[in-house]
Structure 1
Amino acid sequence: MWRKVFLLGAITALVSGCMTAEEQRAADEAKCRSYGFAKRNDAFAECMQRIDLDRSANARANLYDYWGRPYYPYSRYYYLNRANVADRAAEKGR
């Protein structure tokens, strides 16, 4: 019984955080309208484009760690070399 309740709660938590493409677009449009842009003009289109570019940049930034290396938290390389990161950064002059 408790497994079913836990599983249902876990699925509900996972699904509630997702947005469909239509919901994301509606949220972006609402944000641009809140900035004062009228729909169906160049300024509104530029606002939508900037929001999309910002989202893409954030997604790309999350793929790399502080030193610009790809971030794979479950890889063997990440855990074996984690202690030497400060040493390598000092050698590079950072």
Structure 2
Amino acid sequence: MIVLLLVFAATAGCETVSPQQQHAADQAKCAGYGYQPGTDQFAHCMMKVDTRREDRAVAQVQGDANMKALSIQRNGDTRFPVCGASMMDANLDTVNNAWYGPNCREK
């Protein structure tokens, strides 16, 4: 389940980075911290960078799910406008073909 969430989060961005490009960027980041490739410290840095990225992806997916649930809970509450494409912070649920967002209701 988490792997599926990570795949979704990774493909949800505007720019796709190949695994090789991501690995090279991670290596450059750890080398920039002063760690030498081939050392345990470098490997630990690479692991931490990857873990932090995965944690951010999971948090983004969870936050998106929470925002969608909140929009659904607001259905019928006229204090909130109906979500739509014109709202800068709204997202489209392509499965249900419905807009959702932090400051609006689904219907």
Runs ≥4 in structure 1, deviation > 4 angstroms? Answer: none
**Residue 44 of structure 2 corresponds to residue 52 of structure 1:** no
Which of 25, 45, 60 aligns to 1:27? It is: 25
**Matching residue's letter, 1:63:** V
Instruction: Give the percent of matched residue pairs that are identical in Structure 1 and Structure 2.
Output: 31
TM-score, normalisation: structure 1: 0.57
User: Partner of 2:73 in structure 1?
Assistant: 81
Counterpart pick for 2:37 among 27, 36, 39: 39
Higher relative contact order structure (alpha carbons within 8 Å, sequence separation ≥ 6) = 2
* CA deviation string 1:25-82 (max 9, x = no partner): 00000000000000001000000000000001001111223xxx93363xxx543313
Partner in structure 1 of residue 101 of structure 2: none
More strand by share: 2
User: Unaligned 5+ residue runs, structure 2?
Assistant: 1-13, 78-107
Aligned CA RMSD, in angstroms, stands at: 2.2
Matched residue count: 62
Structure with greater helix share of residues:
1
- CA distance in structure 1 between the partners assigned to 2:23 and 2:72 by the alignment: 42
Q: Aligned partners of 1:80 and 1:22: how far apart in 2?
A: 39
CA radius of gyration, larger in = 1
